Amino acid sequence: MPYQVIIPAAGQGKRMGAGKNKLLLTLEGVPVLIHTLKVFEADPECAGIILPIHPDDEAEFKRLLKEYGIHKVSSLVIGGKERQDSVYNGLKALGSFEGVVLVHDAARPFIKAETIHALVEAASNEGGAIVAVPVKDTIKKAVNSQVIETVERSSLWAVQTPQAFRVSILLKAHNKAVSEQFIGTDESSLVERLPHQVAIIEGDYDNIKLTTPEDLYFAEAILRKRKDAGMK
Ligand code: CTP
Ligand code: MG
């Protein structure tokens, strides 16, 4: 089923501390941004990519798209202060498209096409769906470093991207968030407030977000594993 994807790439990568957008760091010689874009470029179901970017990165990103032959980026839009603002700017660039739209962090280069396809199908049927994995750690709630309770783990999910919605639903959720000045850390939190149901598709633990420097070691290990398995 065809879909469009918004790939927010307009952050500054402060926690990575690389002195530049972390998406420009390379893994096996290829920028993180390109690793992520290649998954969608190669997916026949992906009908278009909208890329919210920081104005400072525009020239370099355009150069990389050309160098690596990424042709599906239909619009480069200027991102906003928060990730949510960047996604909203991307949504406004969708025009009259009425199908399923995905939002996927540019900083998650290990997403698999099979997960994307399961997600798109669920979102098409139910209106909204997100990729998540079961929480492995024991999670406790605390105030001032004093434990208040142990949260029952079997109902907990660690949420990733992509997150997929019918366009009309995601647009409605964003408009509501803007008018109520609500900032969420993912799209689902905006859709939940409509309210509208959101289904979970179980993904895998490799779909990490590159956030802090040690994530680069995990990323190298995942790439090595895939190479050994003949995947990438
Ligand atoms: N992002 C964005 N616009 C923003 C902030 C973030 O498009 N105003 C994007 C990032 O480029 C990234 C994704 O959203 O691909 C997830 O955000 P995060 O991992 O927090 O990246 P950064 O905001 O760049 O990193 P940091 O928070 O450490 O500065
Ligand atoms: Mg951030």
Question: What does the pLDDT profile of the chain (232 residues) look like in tens digits?
Answer: 999 999 999 999 999 999 999 999 999 999 999 999 999 999 999 999 999 999 999 999 999 999 999 999 999 999 999 999 999 999 999 989 999 999 999 999 999 999 999 999 999 999 999 999 999 999 999 999 999 999 999 999 999 999 999 999 999 999 999 999 999 999 999 999 999 999 999 999 999 999 999 999 999 999 999 999 987 5
Query: Residue 60 has which token pair?
Result: 């370099």
**Segments forming the whole domain that contains residue 129:** 3-228
Q: Is the pTM of this model over 0.95?
A: yes
CATH number (domain holding residue 171) = 3.90.550.10
Closest ligand (CA of 105) = 1
Closest ligand (CA of 23) = 1
**CA angle, 174 then 86 then 18, to 5°:** 145
Ligand 2 midpoint to CA 193 (Å): 22
C-alpha distances (whole Å) from 74 to each of 7, 45, 65, 70, 200 are 12, 15, 11, 10, 29
Q: Which atom of ligand 1 is nearest to the CA of 106?
A: 15
The count of domains in the chain is 1
